[in-house]
Structure formats: C-alpha cells, structure tokens
Amino acid sequence: MLHSLPALLNELEHKIMAAEDPVPLLNSVRWAEVIDWPRTPEDAARLKRKLEGIKFLIQGLQAPLRATLMRMNEGACYAKQGGPNLPPSISLRFQRSV
C-alpha cells in the first residue's frame, strides 16, 4: 500500500491531536513505499515545519508526565539528555499487552 508522505503526516498529526494511538498507523506504513517526498527546497521547508509542529505536540503531551515524575522525586535535578531522575518506585520496563 502506497502512502503519500504529506498525507501520512497529516493523519499522524490528526491522531495525536485527537488523543488516539498513532502506533497502528505507523506500523501499517511500508516506509520503502512512501511516495511524494519533497522535490523543491520550499517543499522540504514546508515538510520540516510540519514535522516541527508534530514534535511540539508530542512534547506537549509529555509535559504532564515529566511534571509528575519530577513531583514524585522532590529535589531531583534533570539527568542526562534532559530527562528527570526517576524515583526507585518507577520501572523503565514497558510491557506490551496482547
């Protein structure tokens, strides 16, 4: 199935804004078959702005989680790569339920 890159980014942005899980969409993409890559510098700049907007949305969704983790670990400072030091009660292991 062919996916248009601009249409794919629009759908990803829509799913994030609607608080839907974007993983099924991303898993359905065959990245080698993605079409409509930018051909001009203007198209590339437009695509870059779209990606920056999506990144901003994702960071906004992470903000409450980061604030909660910082609150759980009073007096903690940020660790490597801008993340908070996690309290010992938080595990970094995530499990996928089938």
pLDDT digits (tens, 9 = 90+) for 37-61: 999 999 999 999 999 999 998 888 8
Q: How many domains does the chain have?
A: 1
Determine which of 12-21, 45-54, 83-92 has the lowest per-residue pLDDT on average. Answer: 83-92
Domain-embedded: residue 34: yes
Looking at the predicted structure, is the pLDDT value of residue 11 above 60?
Answer: yes
Q: What is the DSSP string of 41-94?
A: HHHHHHHHHHHHHHHHHHHHHHHHHHHHHHHHSTT--B-GGGPBPPPTT-----
Q: Give the model's pLDDT for residue 64.
A: 83
Q: Confirm whether 28 is domain-assigned.
A: yes
Give the model's confidence band at 88: pLDDT under 50 very low, under 70 low, under 90 confident, else very high: low
Which of 4, 5, 22, 6 is closest to 14 using CA atoms? 22
The whole-number average pLDDT for the span 78-86 is: 58
pLDDT higher than 70, residue 95: no
- Residue ranges making up the domain that contains 54: 3-73
DSSP 3-state assignment of 98?
coil
Residue 80 is assigned to a structural domain of this protein? no
HSE at residue 93, side-chain half, CA atoms within 13 A, is: 4
Q: Is residue 57 part of a domain?
A: yes
Question: Does the residue 59 lie in any domain?
Answer: yes
- Residue 37 belongs to some domain of the structure: yes
pLDDT at residue 2 greater than cutoff 80: no
The answer to whether position 89 is within a domain reads no
> Could you tell me if residue 96 is inside a domain?
no
